């Protein structure tokens, strides 16, 4: 069974995250969408809200499991028997950042591979940070979040 972990803060999940997951479903039998607890990040939405957003997006999708974890992502992969970490890339800056993490992860847990998926061009400018900024300032975020969340966030 091919199992992947798609880790992130998902504060909030964006249309870009959603797109990556929909496309990745053709490659994996199960994908865990894991909210990593990161004490250095200041989130706009609570962990419970982010979990609820993800459950709403993937309700009824047996291939996607929503979870949360603490500690090293590669250690969590071992716990859930995931052979792959799935990461989305929007830019060359994302690649450089993610490449360094992937190389260290490979040293820590050699049996877990990191796979990168380039986001669809239409979503390359969309980030959770930008979505939060628009939301904080009273803007319309509906075109930047998955359809099931319109009117909820």
Active site residue 90: yes
Say if strands 84-89 and 3-8 run parallel, antiparallel, or are unpaired: parallel
**How high is the pLDDT of residue 42?**
86
Q: What angle do CA 23, 92, 121 make, to 5 degrees?
A: 40
**How high is the pLDDT of residue 40?**
73
What is the model's pTM?
A: 0.95
Report whether the peptide linkage leading into residue 3 is cis, meaning its omega lies within 30 degrees of zero.
no
Number of domains in the chain: 1
Q: Give 31's strand partners.
A: 4, 64
Q: In angstroms, rounded to a whole number, what is the distance separating the alpha carbons of residues 5 and 85?
A: 5
Which position among 25, 90, 99, 132 bears the catalytic label?
Answer: 90
**How high is the pLDDT of residue 39?**
66
CA proximity to 114, closest of 1, 36, 38, 5 = 5
CATH code, 74? 3.40.50.620
**How high is the pLDDT of residue 66?**
98
Active site residue 41: yes
Tell me the C-alpha to C-alpha distance, in Å, between residue 80 and each of 31, 60, 118.
Answer: 10, 20, 25
**How high is the pLDDT of residue 63?**
98
Residues 109/32, Cβ–Cβ less than 8 Å: no
Give residue 58's domain range: 3-149
**How high is the pLDDT of residue 23?**
98
**How high is the pLDDT of residue 41?**
75
pLDDT 10s per residue in the chain (153 long)? 999 999 999 999 999 999 999 999 999 999 999 999 876 778 999 999 999 999 999 999 999 999 999 999 999 999 999 999 999 999 999 999 999 999 999 999 999 999 999 999 999 999 999 999 999 999 999 999 999 999 999
């Amino acid at each position: 069974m091919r199992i992947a972990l798609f880790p992130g803060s998902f504060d909030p999940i964006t249309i870009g995250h959603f797109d990556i997951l929909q496309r990745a479903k053709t490659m994996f039998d199960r994908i865990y969408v894991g909210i990593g607890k990161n004490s250095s990040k200041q989130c706009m939405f609570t962990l419970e809200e982010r979990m609820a957003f993800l459950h709403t997006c993937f309700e009824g999708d047996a291939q996607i499991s929503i979870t949360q974890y603490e500690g090293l992502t590669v250690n969590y992969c071992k716990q859930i028997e995931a052979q792959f970490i799935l990461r989305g890339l929007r830019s060359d800056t994302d690649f450089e950042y993610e490449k360094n993490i992937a190389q260290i992860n490979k040293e820590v847990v050699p049996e877990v591979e990191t796979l990168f998926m380039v986001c669809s061009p239409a979503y390359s400018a969309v980030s959770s940070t930008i979505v939060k900024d628009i939301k904080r300032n009273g803007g319309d975020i509906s075109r930047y979040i998955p359809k099931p969340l319109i009117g909820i966030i």
